């Protein structure tokens, strides 16, 4: 969750129980009466977009989302090769979890910027999905890395092969991310370490410690 003078912005919308967790977090910060203005997506996997439609309905937030994952938001993603397994899991999950499709208000391509928080720039990091996108804040030298890697201390890892739509693009995306001027990174899946600690884990994983 990002906050600026105009309100709150979510990076992705969470999975099962995500709305309850979000409301608890809002209360803990005393932000429960502040408007959620936007939902900024990193990619179209179900564990990131399940709550988009319900949250939009409740808050009226706009949605900005990577264009190349459009089929995911429509509930019709195509998974080929190794990622076929992920496709089967999602196909079972969508009706079970009552996924509602949605159409983003703004389609995001590499290099697009959003004038929220300290300013965010889309950094296309394909591999995990075709549209997979990190969000970079130049002022803070901080990159939201989405699912480029999962950061759990010594158990940090790149996403398993069956979850990557175009694994051949992963390496280039890791290099692209690490070529930015960075003080820290924040992944979607990780423990509560500092952005600096997450960055050193990513560098270690990439063999660039
Ligand atoms: Zn994912």
Q: What is the pLDDT of residues 164-179, one digit of tens each?
A: 889 999 999 999 999 9
Token pair for residue 14? 């969470």
For the cut 90, the answer to whether the pLDDT of residue 89 exceeds it is: no
Q: pLDDT exceeding 90 applies to what percent of the chain? A: 89
Our CA dihedral for 75, 78, 84, 86, rounded to 10 degrees, sits at -30
- Whether 138 contacts 163, CB under 8 Å: no
The arithmetic mean of pLDDT across residues 66-91, rounded, is 89
> What CA–CA distance (Å, rounded) separates 68 from 87?
16
- CATH code, domain with 168: 3.60.15.10
Q: How many angstroms is it from 5 CA to the middle of ligand 1?
A: 30
Ligand 1 centre to CA of 50 (Å) is 12
pLDDT at 163: 86
106 C-alpha to ligand 1 centroid (Å): 20
Expressed in angstroms and rounded, the spacing between residue 33 Cα and the centre of ligand 1 is 30
Average pLDDT of the residues in 74-102: 89
Distance CA 205, CA 76 (A): 33
Neighbours of 97 (CB within 10 A): 15
Does the pLDDT at position 209 exceed 70?
no
Binning pLDDT at 50, 70 and 90, where does residue 125 land? very high
Q: What is the pLDDT of residue 119?
A: 97
> What's the CA-to-centroid distance between 183 and ligand 1, angstroms?
24
Angle at 142 between CA 67 and CA 28, to 5 degrees: 95
Tell me if residue 178 falls in helix, strand or coil.
Answer: helix
Cα of 128 from ligand 1 centre, angstroms: 6
- Residue range 127-143: mean pLDDT, rounded: 97
**Ligand 1 centroid distance, CA of 147 (Å):** 5
State CA 52 to chain mean position distance: 12
Residue 91 CB coordination number (10 Å): 15
* Residue-number span of the structural domain to which 128 is assigned: 2-205
Q: Domain total for the chain?
A: 1
């Amino acid at each position: 969750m990002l906050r600026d003078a105009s309100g709150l912005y979510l990076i992705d919308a969470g999975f099962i129980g995500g709305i309850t967790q979000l409301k608890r977090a809002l209360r803990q910060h005393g932000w429960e009466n502040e408007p959620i203005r936007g939902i900024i997506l990193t990619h179209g996997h179900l564990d990131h977009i399940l709550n988009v439609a319900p949250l939009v309905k409740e808050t009226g937030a706009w949605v900005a989302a990577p264009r190349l994952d459009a089929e995911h938001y429509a509930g019709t993603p195509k998974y080929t090769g190794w990622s076929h397994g992920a496709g089967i899991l999602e196909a079972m999950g969508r009706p079970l979890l009552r996924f509602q499709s949605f159409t983003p208000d703004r389609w995001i391509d590499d290099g697009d910027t959003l004038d929220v928080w300290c300013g965010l720039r889309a950094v296309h990091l394909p591999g995990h999905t075709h549209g997979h996108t990190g969000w970079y804040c130049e002022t803070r030298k901080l990159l939201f890395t989405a699912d480029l890697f999962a950061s759990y201390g010594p158990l940090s890892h790149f996403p398993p092969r069956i979850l990557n739509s175009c694994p051949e693009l992963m390496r280039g995306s890791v290099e692209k991310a690490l070529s930015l001027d960075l003080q820290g990174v924040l992944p979607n899946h990780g423990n509560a370490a500092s952005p600096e600690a997450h960055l050193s884990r990513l560098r270690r994983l990439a063999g660039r410690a």
